[in-house]
Structure 1
């Protein structure tokens, strides 16, 4: 019998256990330096002026250890920190902070980032040498074209190493000059072997990013905020595309955007459950695909 979806966070472990899983792998979690985290939360606290909708942060706990404890209780066994710069000169020190954070917390996937600047190939190589397992790029916040020539050697190196890159490149919740499928299609034409994880399933350009995941072997999609009641009000998914998600079962990864989400973590799992794509799909998305991509043992 298919388990019922979790009713709240305390019910989440029951849900993944009944699916026969050892826990969850969440590829879209943020832990940031305190000053950076405070600025991110201040932005979302003023979300009504940005998005026309309030964004009450459900896990706005100032203490890293308290937020780590929540993920532990939920059963999230592996997750990144996903730092991202909004200007030059930030990426290297964000990488240093993330490296130290992951060193102190073994459940954290060592994360790094980059920005189009002359130093990028050097500090990306340094991050890889130090064991970075995933990179984060935010096209809208960084306000840069992912095809920027300064990034060509970075993308080439990441394609060569097969290191996953979680990339926020869709035009939701805010469009930017370089968001949307066209820049990403151009990037993949140059570097077709990139191991990209398209954040938020590319919302609201779901159809076009599904196209890219079908076309390119190493393009994945994460479920961050996808299909939740909150997102469906703002950027609804065309459910005629639902079977494409089933066909891409091996390429869809659980993402949440914890802690900066406007609802309990359980809501994301319940939203995926409501898609009615079957237990095998849920098992693949919640554990197996992430565990395979990041070589995580049960």
Structure 2
């Protein structure tokens, strides 16, 4: 358990931000300050090459099929440095650069960019990614040796089976290294060919010690992924978008499963999807608070679990 200290009042970092973001930053800091935390750890934030990120934003703007045709205005559409500074103003003491390929030949290039971003952004956990293709074990090993601390896999966008034989050596390598993998594998906001719990179950049966972090709590198959977390002790879940008013309208979390979520309180991690969210960052925090699972649960989810996982 980390040493909970009330933080200084001045936000870390500076940015010529809008009054809305300044006001929100004060509210976010009040949230974690009340809990006696030194800040937040957000395991699901997106930083990627600007032209790639702009393509992602364009996809959201046009309500592409993978987001279910839902209106999705980007709340934090800003330049890279400004986005990082906003997270610092919020008091996010560690975050990630979740990035992912949608076709072969992209992952190694993205990993090189992410290594450079981590080198110039000390509060970003060095992130890497992978894709089922020849050579995947080699570049995953290279990323691990270069200091990668977390991997991102996106089954929906990549349209691949996570239990693909090409990935088996890479999963084994990551399991042996103890490096967590944040994986979007649930069928929300729109199902993919290989989304859902069954491919993940097959993958975990082969690599049961892999530190898999199920993004979005596996929405909408929440209970199926809770099953996997209860079955495999290294499986964790991140809260990304879950319980917010936006997500509840589309993919509500079954209230009967809240006791199970409470029981897994040491394996639930804060995630937000910043900057690609259609509502204020604060909504995620208030949504977790409204669950009524208690301050100890909030402290664990918003900071301590990830701090322990990443040795912060």
TM-score clears 0.5: yes
Q: Secondary structure at the match of 1:97?
A: helix
Distance 1:13 1:227 in 2: 20
After TM superposition, the structure 1 = structure 2 runs for residues 71-90 of structure 1, keeping only pairs within 5 Å, are 71-90=87-106
Q: Which of 140, 152, 157 in structure 2 is aligned with 1:124?
A: 140
Q: 1:223-243, CA deviations, whole angstroms, 9 ceiling, x for partnerless residues?
A: 000000000000011111111
CA deviation vs aligned residue, 1:121-177 (integer Å, no higher than 9, x gap): 110000000000000000010000011111111011011111000000000001001
Q: Does 1:59 align with 2:76?
A: yes
What corresponds to 1:233 in structure 2? Answer: 249
Q: Alpha carbon RMSD of aligned pairs, Å?
A: 1.0
- Structure 1: state its 5+ residue gaps: 1-6
Question: CA contact under 8 A between 1:8 and 1:267: conserved in structure 2?
Answer: no
Task: Tell me whether 1:135 sits opposite 2:151 in the alignment.
Answer: yes
* Contact 1:198/1:220 (8 A) holds in 2: yes
C-alpha separation between the residues in 2 aligned to 1:277 and 1:140? 31
Question: Following the alignment from structure 2 to structure 1, what is the Cα–Cα distance between the partners of residues 88 and 259?
Answer: 33
Question: Is the contact between residue 9 and residue 264 of structure 1 (CA under 8 Å) also seen in structure 2?
Answer: no
Q: TM-score normalized by structure 1?
A: 0.95
**Equivalents in 2 of 1:255, 1:286: separation in Å?**
9
C-alpha separation between the residues in 2 aligned to 1:47 and 1:236? 21
2:274 — aligned with what? 258
Residue 33 of structure 1, aligned match among 45, 49, 70: 49
For normalisation by structure 2, the TM-score amounts to 0.91
Q: Does residue 1:218 correspond to 2:242, yes or no?
A: no
Q: 2:198 aligns with which of 178, 182, 188?
A: 182
Structure 2: how far apart are the matches of 1:183 and 1:164? 18
How far the C-alpha of 1:119 sits from its partner, in A, is 1.2
**Is the partner of 2:213 in helix, strand or coil?**
strand
Q: Once the two structures are superposed, what CA deviation does each residue of 1:57-113 show, in whole Å capped at 9, x if it has no partner? A: 10011x111001100100000011011000000000000000000000100100000
Q: After TM superposition, where is structure 1 displaced by more than 4 Å over at least 4 residues in a row?
A: none
Which ranges in structure 2 are unaligned for 5 or more consecutive residues? 1-22
CA distance in 2 between partners of 1:129 and 1:48 (Å): 36
Q: How far apart, CA to CA, are the structure 2 residues paired with 1:267 and 1:121?
A: 39
Show the counterpart of 2:304. Answer: 288
Cα deviation for residue 199 of structure 1 reads 0.1
Establish whether residue 156 from structure 1 lines up as the match of residue 172 from structure 2: yes
Report if the CA contact (8 A) 1:212-1:219 is conserved.
yes
Measured after TM superposition, the shift of residue 10 of structure 1 is 2.7
Q: What's the counterpart of residue 4 of structure 1?
A: none
Q: Is the 8 A contact 1:139 1:145 kept in 2?
A: yes
Which residue in 1 is equivalent to 2:292?
276
CA shift for structure 1 position 48: 7.0
Q: Distance in 1 between matches of 2:195 and 2:130?
A: 17
How many correspondences in the alignment? Answer: 289
Indicate conservation of the 8 Å contact 1:199/1:222, yes or no.
yes
- How far apart, CA to CA, are the structure 2 residues paired with 1:182 and 1:149? 15
